[in-house]
A and B are shown apart, each in its own frame.
Chain A
Amino acid sequence: MSSSLPPVFYHFFRTPLPYARTLVLQEQLHALQLSQRRLGVHKDVLLLLEHRPVYTAGRRQHENSVRDEKLRLTNIGADFVNTLRGGELTYHGPGQIVGYPLLDLSRYSPAMGIRDYICRLQKTLELHLREGHGIKHSASEHTGVFLNPTTKVASIGVQVRHRLTTHGFSLNITEEPLSWFNQIVACGLADVRAGSIEGVEGRPISLMDEIPVLIERFGKLYEREMVEMDPNNEGEIGRAILEVEEIARQAGPWATEPIEAPIA
């Protein structure tokens, strides 16, 4: 246990967040981390949240190539945002836990490599499924977590700049994301469909109940103490977080199902 490393400060957002505004938050926190690192006072953060319905594209997908998809998908009640993370097209929305670890990989000695970082993320999710729900994942050559070769329950997509991470992972808890996932070929895998923990358990699962144990498992895999952040007492980081919380509250209700979905 690397007890010499500072803790990771986490925050769970209670209201589903608009994606674009959360991306702005990530960039704010990343910039703060970069500048504070020069003085050795930067903090590692884990944000846990849900998003309002949104489809996001990865770095490889140029805006021109996804223009038609963007038009189609925004017409069914979702947002569409292009990003600079790895990975391809995916969906985020209520019923799915999204995690953004904003970590400095160079804190570890030797510095944590990217393959190692992704591996631990994947293992955190696999551990959560196993310990929390008795679900054994299906091994796959693809990054992410699968229930069986054609059912994906969790995705990973990350960006690393100067050893600082942004973006992260998503884990389907309830069945709500599924009808949205069915509108696309997610992650560039044509014969794969989305699954959820609720689907396997066959009973309603409370997303909120998943959070504390997921955080614990994250701490285990990254060998860090996990400390809850008090945004009221966390300076610039805290203020930025509270601002997004307020914007999310004021945004009102969202579509729980695709509007006039052409595919059942």
Chain B
Amino acid sequence: MQSILRRTLASSNPLLRCRASLSPRAISRHFGFRTIVTKRYTAEHECVAFDETTGLGVISITDHAQSSLGDVVFVELPQVGTEVSQHDQIGAVESVKAASDIYAPVSGKVEEINETLADQPGLLNKSPEEEGWLCKIKLSNPSELEELMNEEEYQASYEH
């Protein structure tokens, strides 16, 4: 389904044909403007949704991660303004008495954190990749995204 969408868009939209390195995974409507958001995944179930127009990557954990964690009771987030390198520890999630470290999928600066998680840690279970977003990073090196997995590769990686 996705590939059909991509081919149709590629032929009709000249902007898409220019994007050789990052194949768009979704078109989202944001305040009436169409933006291209690229989603990439790590082997440890972190997700980054990168918006090329803002240069911001929204960091979250995947649905698979939240189901294997159990009910989240506490979320530790980085401080706004922190500079992180790819693979640095940037926070932790606690569930069923287990504190699990989260790592930065990309390098950059933490611009915003999801304050709602302090009172509603369960959002990570209910809506891990949307309302349960962890933080937003201004990417210092977008080419790092190419090292990460796309959705198909990610799903294949844990479904043995």
Q: Chain A interface (Cβ within 8 Å of chain B)?
A: 58-60, 84-87, 109-111, 113-118, 143-144, 155-163
Main secondary structure of the interface of A (DSSP, over half): loop
B96 touches A162 (CB 8 A): no
By a CB distance below 8 angstroms, the chain B residues around A85 are 97, 99
A115 touches B95 (CB 8 A): yes
Q: Chain B interface (Cβ within 8 Å of chain A)?
A: 44, 67-70, 74, 76, 89, 92, 94-101, 103, 158-160
CB distance from A119 to the nearest CB of B (A): 8
By a CB distance below 8 angstroms, the chain A residues around B76 are 59
Further contacts, 14 of them, CB under 8 A, given A161-B89, A162-B101? A58-B99, A59-B76, A59-B92, A60-B74, A84-B99, A87-B97, A109-B160, A113-B67, A113-B69, A114-B69, A114-B95, A114-B100, A118-B97, A157-B98
C-alpha spacing A110/B159, complex, angstroms: 7
Number of A-B contacts (CB under 8 A): 72
By a CB distance below 8 angstroms, the chain A residues around B67 are 113, 115
CB distance from B70 to the nearest CB of A (A): 4
By a CB distance below 8 angstroms, the chain B residues around A157 are 97-98
By a CB distance below 8 angstroms, the chain A residues around B44 are 162-163
The 24 sampled A-B contact pairs (Cβ below 8 Å) are A59-B74, A60-B94, A84-B92, A85-B97, A86-B97, A110-B160, A114-B68, A114-B70, A114-B95, A114-B96, A115-B96, A118-B70, A118-B97, A144-B97, A155-B97, A157-B98, A158-B97, A158-B99, A159-B98, A159-B101, A160-B101, A161-B101, A162-B101, A162-B103
C-alpha spacing A116/B69, complex, angstroms: 8
A159 touches B69 (CB 8 A): no
B94 touches A114 (CB 8 A): no
CB distance from A196 to the nearest CB of B (A): 20
Residue of B nearest to A119 (CB): B96
By a CB distance below 8 angstroms, the chain B residues around A58 are 99
A117 touches B98 (CB 8 A): yes
The 7 closest A-B pairs by CB, nearest first: A113-B68, A115-B70, A86-B99, A158-B98, A87-B97, A143-B97, A86-B97
Residue of B nearest to A113 (CB): B68
C-alpha spacing A115/B71, complex, angstroms: 9
By a CB distance below 8 angstroms, the chain A residues around B158 are 110-111
Residue of B nearest to A156 (CB): B97
Residue of B nearest to A88 (CB): B97
Residue of B nearest to A164 (CB): B101
C-alpha spacing A113/B98, complex, angstroms: 11
C-alpha spacing A143/B96, complex, angstroms: 6
C-alpha spacing A162/B97, complex, angstroms: 17
B98 touches A86 (CB 8 A): yes
